[in-house]
Structure 1
Amino acid sequence: MRKIKKIIVLILIIVFSYNIYFLNFSNNNFSMQDDLIEKLSSNMPNYTRIDKIPEYLKNATIAVEDRRFYTHGGFDIRSIGRAAVVNLKEGEIKEGGSTITQQLAKNLFLTNEKSYIRKIKELGLALKIEDKYSKDEILEMYLNVVYYGANSYGVAEASKKYFNKEVWKLSLGECAMLAGLTQAPSSYEPSKYYTKAKKRQEIVLKSMYRYGSIDEKLMEEGIKETIDIYN
């Protein structure tokens, strides 16, 4: 009975999400009718194009945030199912199961409110974004708007803030450390909690190795790398 309930909830979330797909969603800043890349790049002086972002940073982000990013259509049914099981067991939303596309949708159009209504909107918007933009364009937008802590939004700001360098000059270890921040920026902020940030970086590097982004030698070099942090 409990398993049937979980399946029903999951089906309802997906069905309502497809209904959101057909709405022209907008807020005070963005509309789905906008060219989101043009709007973001014209309003963000540090907007960084995907070809200027290191492969290590892109791969590190995908390894820890959404390893099936290039194969799903906006949402990951396995992640949603896993999150639904946890949330039903806890009686509240503890896990989101969000893909990079869903996180982009939330950052541009929604709030951080933990509710099923927000999750449904997030899923519907993710489907629309996937239809309109390529995977690389989605990843580019995400990396330019995601919060990295210390009042730093986007990879360009975060790279300058923590490492005092342009994002395209980041090393493997620095890329892995940045990618690790997005899960909990205030908890892993390296200028305050370097040891925790370093442990999180190791998790990212091991994930990159596990999913084939780097070999064992590079993983070990990244773990041993000394990171200079600027306050």
Structure 2
Amino acid sequence: MKTIKKICITLILILSIGISSYLFICHRLYEQYKQNKEVSTLMQEVMNQKDFISFDQFPEYFVQATISIEDRRFYLHGGVDLIGVARAFVSQFDEDYIKSGGSTITQQTAKNLYGIYESNIWIKGSQMWMAWELEQNFSKEQIFAVYVNIINYGDNNEGIQEACQNYFGIDVSQMSIEQATILAGIPNLPSYYQLSNHYDNAKQRQYNVLVCMAQSGYISYEDIEVIFNGSVYENRLY
């Protein structure tokens, strides 16, 4: 019994040292990014742009759709979601789970603010530090707004306003729920879901978005087929 206890204590110590070392190295990388420009400064620069779309201009169902498919615990975590990471891991092996990544909207915001497109465990770790800083200095609404203003929506559309204008000829505030749910699915893999040449892929992704919305309680399961079968090229407010 004492031997087992010693082994457990040793393993815990090794794990603790490993995690601490990993976070330390990732923080050093984070400091290197900061030498160029603080992530908070990058956030403020985006928010100060004259064409920036603020949170209050987004239809509620667009916010719900994006959060449901990208980061359903967005309002609960502090920038990094360990439960989301675990769920993303399981989704790679369990067909009952919709495939997802482990990065939160906050982490993705930081990644895109710095224009980081390569990925490894060290870069992922540095993004955790960036996310924690963003959460300390900005509201969830500000983080969400910056995210959808800078993210790629396929077909060279940077941000949700460009996507709405170029795909549907409308402003953000005029999005129907059909349009909102198909657009919310594109950032996961823009070149695969862009509407110009991968509309069928985008529709499949839209269905996943709707299922996630129903699981989150934003719509009923009966609504899924109604919205899915509705036209994205007609402006109908939900």
Q: Is TM (by shorter chain) over 0.5?
A: yes
User: Structure 2: which 5+ residue stretches go unaligned?
Assistant: 1-10, 93-99
Flag the 1:187–1:8 CA change in 2: closer, same or farther, 3 A: farther
Cα offset, 1:81, TM superposition: 4.1
Q: Match for residue 149 of structure 1?
A: 154
- For residues 34 and 8 of structure 1, the distance between their equivalents in structure 2, rounded to whole angstroms, comes to 35
Flag the 1:13–1:175 CA change in 2: closer, same or farther, 3 A: farther
Structure 2 residue aligned with 1:119, among 111, 115, 124? 124
Aligned-pair identity in percent equals: 34
8 Å contact from structure 2 (residues 30, 127) kept in 1? no
Aligned amino acid, residue 19 of structure 2: I
8 Å contact from structure 1 (residues 173, 223) kept in 2? yes
Q: Match for residue 41 of structure 1?
A: 47
- Structure 2 length-normalised TM: 0.79
8 Å contact from structure 2 (residues 149, 158) kept in 1? yes
- For residues 114 and 141 of structure 2, the distance between their equivalents in structure 1, rounded to whole angstroms, comes to 20
Cα offset, 1:35, TM superposition: 7.0
8 Å contact from structure 2 (residues 29, 123) kept in 1? no
- For residues 67 and 178 of structure 2, the distance between their equivalents in structure 1, rounded to whole angstroms, comes to 15
8 Å contact from structure 1 (residues 26, 109) kept in 2? no
CA offsets, 1:200-224, max 9 Å, x none? 1111011101111112343232111
Q: Secondary structure at the match of 1:26?
A: helix
Aligned amino acid, residue 26 of structure 1: K
- Structure 1 length-normalised TM: 0.81
Flag the 1:159–1:33 CA change in 2: closer, same or farther, 3 A: closer
Flag the 1:172–1:84 CA change in 2: closer, same or farther, 3 A: closer
8 Å contact from structure 1 (residues 21, 127) kept in 2? no
Cα offset, 1:69, TM superposition: 0.4
Alignment of 1:1-231 (within 5 A): 8=15, 11-12=19-20, 15-16=23-24, 19=27, 23=31, 25-26=33-34, 30-32=37-39, 34=41, 36-37=43-44, 39-43=45-49, 45-81=50-86, 96-228=101-233
Q: Secondary structure at the match of 1:34?
A: helix
Q: Secondary structure at the match of 2:156?
A: coil
Higher Rg = 2
Flag the 1:33–1:47 CA change in 2: closer, same or farther, 3 A: closer
Cα offset, 1:112, TM superposition: 1.3
